[in-house]
């Protein structure tokens, strides 16, 4: 039996909806063996982030060495990296182990508004991580910060942002449309040559905690299983649409998505 493996390098969400917990659930649901390197602990629930405790960079390097020198991986996804020293440490290890299939989710701010990346670290994301990324998956506010564009609201502006991020080194760019307002939510994939739109019904629900983490983890799982980027992104869109459309309804705030909906409830066509 071939075991496909994926590694998440991300923060812990004690509430289980985002971060490494969301990533590992997604890997498992998509039939991929999941591994994790913790970059920060958060005390977090559906109502927000109550505390952040970054892991020392030396220990992040030690975790990456432990996993990559022994088990190896078919794909890596990064999420919350918090500061520039952590970013530089992770980039160094991705290069040292010649990682292929790297999905960069440039996490900056949690839904409740808590910062998950200090402002001074945005330059480090652009300098050290974008050039290594097989796929980068910014939401609309993250794409704005990374590109410095004044606004990204229309499809043409999404295309302009995708082109800039591709020019700066990412092989593929997915600009996610979750923060828009249209009844149809459209993500835009760019491979340097053509654009592919992935659209689905927008669900009017407050249970969208961890959507970005889950989507990026599903792309990593697809790549780890041998799918090409377009196939992996399409599967991820179906996975996240199923997860949002069958909410669990737990907690008192922005509840998590339903990671088992894709398997148990069937998928919606995109
Ligand atoms: N309300 C929604 N209904 C349907 N799909 C959504 C909704 N919100 C987000 N998505 C999808 O979830 C994925 C994550 O998008 P987004 O919420 O923009 O990311 P993030 O969590 O990083 O802010 C994208 O594929 C997006 O289209
Ligand atoms: C530990 C941790 N990592 C990432 C996030 C952000 O996740 P995201 O998928 O963007 O979802 P929301 O925070 O927007 O719900 C997080 N909250 N915690």
As a 3-state breakdown, the chain gives helix, strand, coil percent values, each rounded to 5, of 40, 25, 35
Domain of 143: which CATH number? Answer: 3.40.1190.20
What is the CB < 6 Å shell around ligand 2? Answer: 10-13, 18-19, 42, 44, 79-80, 107, 110-111, 116, 209-213, 254
- Number of other CB atoms surrounding residue 155 within 10 Å: 14
Confirm whether 269 is domain-assigned. Answer: no
Structure tokens at 247: 């909410």
Q: Whose CA is nearest to atom 15 of ligand 2?
A: 209
Q: What is the pLDDT along the chain (270 residues), one digit of tens a residue?
A: 999 999 999 999 999 999 999 999 999 999 999 999 999 999 999 999 999 999 999 999 999 999 999 999 999 999 999 999 999 999 999 999 999 999 999 999 998 899 999 999 999 999 999 999 999 999 999 999 999 999 999 999 999 999 999 999 999 999 999 998 899 999 999 999 999 999 999 999 999 999 999 999 999 999 999 999 999 999 999 999 999 999 999 999 999 999 999 998 766 555
- Is 202's C-beta closer than 6 angstroms to any atom of ligand 1? yes
Predicted local confidence at residue 105, as pLDDT: 98
Q: Whose CA is nearest to atom 3 of ligand 1?
A: 202
| Residue among 147, 211, 214, 241 flagged as catalytic | 211
155 among known catalytic residues? no
Burial class (CB in 10 A: 0-12, 13-18, 19+), 164: middle
Mutate to test the pocket of ligand 2, among 47, 49, 82, 116 (most ligand atoms within 8 A of CB): 116
Predicted local confidence at residue 111, as pLDDT: 86
User: Which atom of ligand 1 has the smallest separation from the CA of 205?
Assistant: 1
112 among known catalytic residues? no
Structure letter (DSSP) for residue 216: H
Instruction: Give the Cα separation of 84 and 218 in Å (integer).
Output: 26
Structure letter (DSSP) for residue 13: E
Predicted local confidence at residue 84, as pLDDT: 98
Confirm whether 105 is domain-assigned. Answer: yes
- Number of other CB atoms surrounding residue 157 within 10 Å: 18
Instruction: Give the Cα separation of 29 and 166 in Å (integer).
Output: 30
Predicted local confidence at residue 265, as pLDDT: 79
Confirm whether 270 is domain-assigned. Answer: no
Confirm whether 114 is domain-assigned. Answer: yes
Confirm whether 83 is domain-assigned. Answer: yes
- pTM equals 0.98
Predicted local confidence at residue 270, as pLDDT: 52
Give the torsion sign (CA, 65, 68, 69, 70): positive
Count the domains in the chain: 1
Predicted local confidence at residue 169, as pLDDT: 97
Confirm whether 55 is domain-assigned. Answer: yes
- Number of other CB atoms surrounding residue 239 within 10 Å: 26
Confirm whether 162 is domain-assigned. Answer: yes
Confirm whether 18 is domain-assigned. Answer: yes
211 among known catalytic residues? yes
Range of the domain at 169: 5-264
């Amino acid at each position: 039996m071939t075991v496909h493996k994926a590694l998440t390098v991300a923060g812990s969400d004690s509430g289980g909806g985002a971060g490494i917990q969301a990533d590992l659930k997604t890997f498992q649901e998509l039939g991929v063996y999941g591994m994790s390197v913790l970059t920060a602990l958060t005390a977090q629930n559906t109502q927000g982030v109550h505390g952040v405790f970054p892991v020392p960079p030396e220990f992040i390097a030690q975790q990456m060495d432990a996993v990559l020198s022994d088990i190896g991986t078919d794909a890596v996804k990064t999420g919350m990296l918090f500061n520039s020293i952590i970013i530089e440490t992770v980039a160094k290890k991705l290069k040292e182990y010649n990682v292929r299939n790297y999905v960069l989710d440039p996490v900056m701010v949690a839904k409740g508004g808590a910062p998950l990346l200090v402002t001074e670290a945005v330059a480090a994301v652009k300098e050290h991580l974008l050039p290594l990324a097989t796929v980068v998956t910014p939401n609309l506010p993250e794409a704005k910060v990374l590109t410095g564009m004044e606004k990204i609201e229309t499809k043409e502006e999404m295309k302009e942002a995708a082109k800039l991020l591709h020019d700066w080194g990412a092989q593929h760019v997915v600009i996610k449309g979750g923060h828009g307002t249209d009844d149809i939510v459209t993500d835009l994939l760019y491979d340097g040559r053509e654009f592919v739109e992935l659209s689905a019904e927008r669900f009017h629900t407050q249970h969208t905690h961890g959507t970005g983490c889950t989507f990026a983890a599903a792309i990593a799982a697809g790549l780890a299983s041998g799918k090409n980027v377009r196939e992996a992104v399409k599967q991820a869109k179906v996975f996240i649409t199923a997860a949002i459309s069958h909410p669990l309804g737990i907690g008192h705030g922005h509840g998590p998505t339903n990671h088992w909906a894709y398997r148990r409830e069937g998928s919606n066509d995109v």
